[in-house]
A and B are shown apart, each in its own frame.
Chain A
Amino acid sequence: MEKITINFNLNGKDVVVLTEPNKRLVDFLREDMDLTSVKEGCGEGECGACTIIFNGEAVTSCLMLVGQAEGSQIVTLEGVSENGKPNYIQKAFMDVGAVQCGYCTPGMILAAKALLDKNPKAGDEEIKQAMSGNLCRCTGYAKIFQAVKTARDAKGALKHES
């Protein structure tokens, strides 16, 4: 199959890549770009493990083809940390014990980031709604919910101080 060139912004950097157009975005990110934080859990857009932030929205990358990335801005978990250190959401996940097996964690953190970037004061129900596309079999969601609330409140407190 003829390869195509696509231009997009990946984790804050402009990239130009030559790739097969029919490749799923999840495979492209994992295999061609070595961004293995993007997980595949189901391949049908149900579990949310492959969540990325695409033009500011949390989407499942298993349901997209790489060609759709043209001109877009994509953020994976690799692009979330700050200077190699966990950001405020990642830190909240660690602190409250929201991580068990860790397979859903990248998607969960990105879903939370997409929400809190847009709506830093998201209410509890808005959090539940925004996170409901991401399945977790280990935690019962209690500590993940708590982590997102903690992150939201921590960010609010930070802004208040400055």
Chain B
Amino acid sequence: MNHNYSVMGKSVTRKDALDKVMGTARFAADMKVPGMLWGGVFRSSIVAGVVKSFDPSGALAIPGVECVLTHQDIPGKNRIGIILKDEPILVEDKIRRYGDAIALVAAESRELLQEALEAIRVEYEEHEPVLTIEQAAKKDAPKIHGDRNQYQIKHLEHGNVDEAFKNCDVIVENDYETPMLSHMFIEPEAGLAHYENGIMTVHSSTQNPHYDRGEIAAMLNLPNNRVVSVQMTTGGGFGGKLDISVQCHGALLAYYTGRPVKIVRSREESTLLSSKRHPMKLHYKTGATKDGKIKAVQVNITSDSGAYASYGPAVITRAAVHAAGPYEVPNVRVDASFYYTNNPMAGAFRGFGVPQVAVAHEGQMNAIAKKLGMDAIELRLLNAHRPGTTTPTGQKLDNNVGFIPCLEAVREKAKEVLPSCIPSGPSKRRGRGYGCMYYGIGNTGLPNPAGAFLEVLPDASVNLMVGCADIGQGSTSVMAQIAAEELGLTYEDVHVTFANTQVTPEGGASSASRQTFISGNATLLAARMAKETLASVAADYLKTSADQLVFQDREIRVKAHSEVRMDYGELMGEMKRLGKLALGCGSYNPVTTGLDPKDMTGSPFEVYSYAAALVDLEVDIETGLVDVLNVISAHDVGTAVNVHAVEGQIEGGVVMGTGFALLEKTEVKDGKITNPLFSKYLLATMMDVPNIYPIVVESAGEAGPFGAKGVGEPALIPAIPATADGVENALDIHFGKLPIQPIDIMREYYKKCP
């Protein structure tokens, strides 16, 4: 891109890096205040049923146990949920999953809390649980909520699928299955609540403090402005800290006791209770003509959302919208829905259903390429989204599309860096795989605004206040860069206060890869508003008009006469003399339209990010182990704001993606997760990771701040199908079901070569 940026596109050091390397960054569990109680949750040990009797007397008899609370102690609403309010804060009518919260305890120490939780007695009446989609779909199945178990029944219809299949030369039909997965952020959820002078303050580990505020306020019957929700430094989220975790429980205990209450989840509690990735079953039928043009895609998706919906409706809608992948397909039909069961709650996990459909749409593309004898990249280039493409929702894409450059970048990089594909031993089989994706930035066809407040201070330093939670992705630094670039100041000049509902405007969730685009645009608008005042003063001083001014590198210059200039110090002196303040506020809501309930027609996103990946790997046919050697992952991010941060997202995404394809799976038995700990839920270590070549592709289009889009979730997605494809190519075996673990490889390989 031909831009003369001073701050954008630079690998600045994150604002929080110093505190994090010094160990002084404060996470929620690090908080300690005088008079603090420890809070904890008494949870259901059954999967489905009702509480017949509840006896807290043993706990209350322990000196130092402050209180035991149940649903009867909730003054306001006892229903929470990001989209559907279906989850009780404390069980009221029935238990729907293992670990449902039945009662809360506050005690003087962690040891006493533990003792108290063990002293509570409960009797259950157990009900027959619903543990599979097939069971949930039966007419006479017990209903988890309301009068049915199937929800978010979505139908997308574009073109004429039935007619199109008749004119296809090749048709590929396959089943795919993706597992339930756990986020396994390294920091378990924690929070500290304090009720003082009529204000409830909750500090927590969260991806959306503004959402938390609303739920806490509704629970306590307090106005929103009497609840202060503050995000502490948060140790990763990936979607798993979007739901309420400790916030309401801590607040209720603090409200009742009048003392500060801290809750820290154990790893086991964290994994059992936080949302999971929706396990999905996908049936795909894809048709193409012999020249490689994809003509029709028909998809059926079913998914298990577990006991509560969480972000399930969004996962289903987004999966349906993205089901055909980043290709121009004139005829598409998708049917998708989720079922409630008594399994662990599934919700948001990096990609909202798009990783799942990418496994399938890329599996189909690779199968079509093989069937037609076409090069996998050529086939994609032929069908790729480009400016002017119409998507399956009927949206005509503008110029914010950079998919073809991603494909070309991958191909070029592979020629440059990848060594020959010679296996390292007689039992080794080499495979190369490809995967691509596109991803709509922001919530799907729904309003999702974010705001920013900004003030340029007398010494030309800047206070910027954004609602956006920085969960590790680096949004705080991104916002500072955007404000600095627009104002012509330096990155160091901008201080960012974020994710504190008392001082920052609504930010919405740090999810859907939306914050760079949405909070970034709000920041840009806030900076522009402050700059208008500054420019009018500078224009008078320099005897020109405001539109002739350039703000850059702490100076204000006249475009055509760069020797006519003033520095920021002079400008702020002039502002002071005239009694003016440089204030700005901005809010941005992506330009979208709602989706037609009949066929999902609409423009659900303002912009989409694109990506393509190549994976080189080696399979050992004696052990079934897969060694992922090299991954090239190219991402159209519009404009990279902080290049290090973008690369960091891609590298982290690649490792999570290869883990999705080969390693990770949340095991559930009788409704209970059996591998909630790192000792059984394996993650890659530094020993296991491949060489990663992240490629940042910048595309045209100016919808985002300086053209920036988003990369958080796209970073994960293409490596998953590319890894699966690599294994399939190494062995010439089709696996539709992920993860492909050594046992699956051995079974299928010896079936094929007995």
Bound-state CA distance A90–B21 (Å) is 5
Bound-state CA distance A36–B262 (Å) is 15
**Does any Cβ of B come within 8 Å of A41's Cβ?**
yes
**Does any Cβ of A come within 8 Å of B496's Cβ?**
no
For B678, what are the chain A residues with a Cβ–Cβ distance below 8 Å? 41-42, 44, 46-47, 135
Q: How far is the CB of B536 from chain A (nearest CB, A)?
A: 39
Residue with the greatest number of chain A CB neighbours at <10 A, chosen from B17, B24, B472: B17
Q: How far is the CB of B267 from chain A (nearest CB, A)?
A: 4
CB pair B23 A106 closer than 8 Å: yes
**Does any Cβ of B come within 8 Å of A28's Cβ?**
no
**Does any Cβ of A come within 8 Å of B256's Cβ?**
no
Bound-state CA distance A43–B687 (Å) is 22
**Does any Cβ of A come within 8 Å of B197's Cβ?**
no
For B686, what are the chain A residues with a Cβ–Cβ distance below 8 Å? 127-128, 131-132, 134, 141, 144-145
Q: How far is the CB of A51 from chain B (nearest CB, A)?
A: 12
**Does any Cβ of A come within 8 Å of B651's Cβ?**
yes
A 92-132 contacts with B by CB, 8 A: 93-97, 99-106, 109, 127-129, 131-132
**Does any Cβ of A come within 8 Å of B655's Cβ?**
yes
CB pair B644 A96 closer than 8 Å: yes
**Does any Cβ of B come within 8 Å of A153's Cβ?**
no
For A93, what are the chain B residues with a Cβ–Cβ distance below 8 Å? 17, 21
Residue in chain A with minimal CB distance to B19: A102
- The contact of A40 among B29, B651, B687, by CB within 8 Å, is B29
**Does any Cβ of B come within 8 Å of A78's Cβ?**
yes
CB pair B653 A140 closer than 8 Å: yes
Q: How far is the CB of A40 from chain B (nearest CB, A)?
A: 7
Bound-state CA distance A44–B234 (Å) is 21
Interface size range of chain A in the complex: 35 or more
Bound-state CA distance A97–B651 (Å) is 12
- Assuming the A-B contacts A100-B648, A102-B235, are A129 and B687 also in contact, with contact meaning beta carbons closer than 8 angstroms in the complex? yes
- The contact of A42 among B29, B238, B677, by CB within 8 Å, is B677
- The contact of A99 among B20, B110, B647, B651, by CB within 8 Å, is B20
Bound-state CA distance A136–B677 (Å) is 15
Proximity string of chain B (1-44) to chain A, C-beta cutoff 8 Å, 1 when within and 0 when not: 00000000001011011111111111101101000000000000
Bound-state CA distance A138–B237 (Å) is 9
**Does any Cβ of B come within 8 Å of A152's Cβ?**
no
Bound-state CA distance A14–B610 (Å) is 56
For B25, what are the chain A residues with a Cβ–Cβ distance below 8 Å? 102
**Does any Cβ of B come within 8 Å of A37's Cβ?**
yes
CB pair A142 B474 closer than 8 Å: no
**Does any Cβ of A come within 8 Å of B604's Cβ?**
no
- The contact of A135 among B19, B32, B186, B656, by CB within 8 Å, is B186
Proximity string of chain B (383-409) to chain A, C-beta cutoff 8 Å, 1 when within and 0 when not: 000000000000000000000000000
**Does any Cβ of A come within 8 Å of B645's Cβ?**
yes
CB pair B689 A140 closer than 8 Å: yes
Q: How far is the CB of B570 from chain A (nearest CB, A)?
A: 34
Bound-state CA distance A49–B23 (Å) is 12
**Does any Cβ of B come within 8 Å of A143's Cβ?**
yes
Bound-state CA distance A141–B685 (Å) is 8
Q: How far is the CB of B339 from chain A (nearest CB, A)?
A: 29
For B16, what are the chain A residues with a Cβ–Cβ distance below 8 Å? 99, 102
For A101, what are the chain B residues with a Cβ–Cβ distance below 8 Å? 185-187, 233-236, 471-472
CB pair B652 A137 closer than 8 Å: yes
For A40, what are the chain B residues with a Cβ–Cβ distance below 8 Å? 29, 188
Bound-state CA distance A122–B233 (Å) is 33
CB pair A39 B187 closer than 8 Å: yes
- Assuming the A-B contacts A96-B644, A100-B472, A102-B20, are A137 and B184 also in contact, with contact meaning beta carbons closer than 8 angstroms in the complex? yes
Closest 9 CB pairs of A and B: A37-B23, A101-B472, A103-B235, A97-B644, A102-B20, A77-B23, A140-B655, A46-B678, A140-B651
Q: A46-B677, A141-B689, A142-B689 are in contact. List 5 more A-B contacts (CB 8 A).
A: A42-B677, A86-B18, A97-B647, A140-B655, A142-B651
